[in-house]
Amino acid sequence: MKVGTQNYSFELNSKLSELKALNQHLIAFGRNIGLSEISISEINICLDELFTNIVSYGFKGDLEHKIKFTIKVDTNILAVSIEDDGVPFNPLEKKAVELPADVTSAKIGGLGIHITRELMDKICYERKRGKNKLTLNKIIQENRAPSA
């Protein structure tokens, strides 16, 4: 993994069709800094879930909005901030979901925030100047080959 501090920012339109671009940005940045494929996948799952929720539920009306992503890496901590001007929503205030006993009794939806809490090491939310800002922190390891 490349050492030191690295920053990367980009904006996406509030359209679900932007999910592919989100994935491409994350993969390119992750590979550039030597992030493991497992870490890239875990972060991608979280960002996919959160972006989908923001686009699907975060805005009133049909106006297009920008969602800003900032990725910062400092030594072994990767922080991803997601900023939007949607309706105020703190996902950390959402109650933990009850996991289904088996797949057949599972309901569609509602697990995205739970998954994000499980895959990330720290999550912070703040509302400032009319914007939601969610920051996800993940402790990252060097890209190593799996043990045999």
pLDDT at residue 66 tops 60: yes
Q: Quick check: helix, strand or coil at residue 130? A: coil
pLDDT tens digits, residue range 82-137? Answer: 999 999 999 988 776 666 666 666 565 567 788 899 999 999 999 999 999 999 99
Q: Residue 126 and residue 110: Cα distance in Å, rounded? A: 21
* Cβ(70)–Cβ(54) below 8 Å: no
- The pTM of the full predicted model, rounded to 2 decimals, is 0.86
Please name the residues in contact with 102: beta carbons below 8 A apart, sequence gap of 6 or more: none
- 5-139: CATH number: 3.30.565.10
Q: Where are the domains of the chain?
A: 5-139
Distances (CA, A) of 2 to 17, 40, 68, 73, 143: 32, 15, 24, 10, 10
* Cβ(109)–Cβ(54) below 8 Å: no
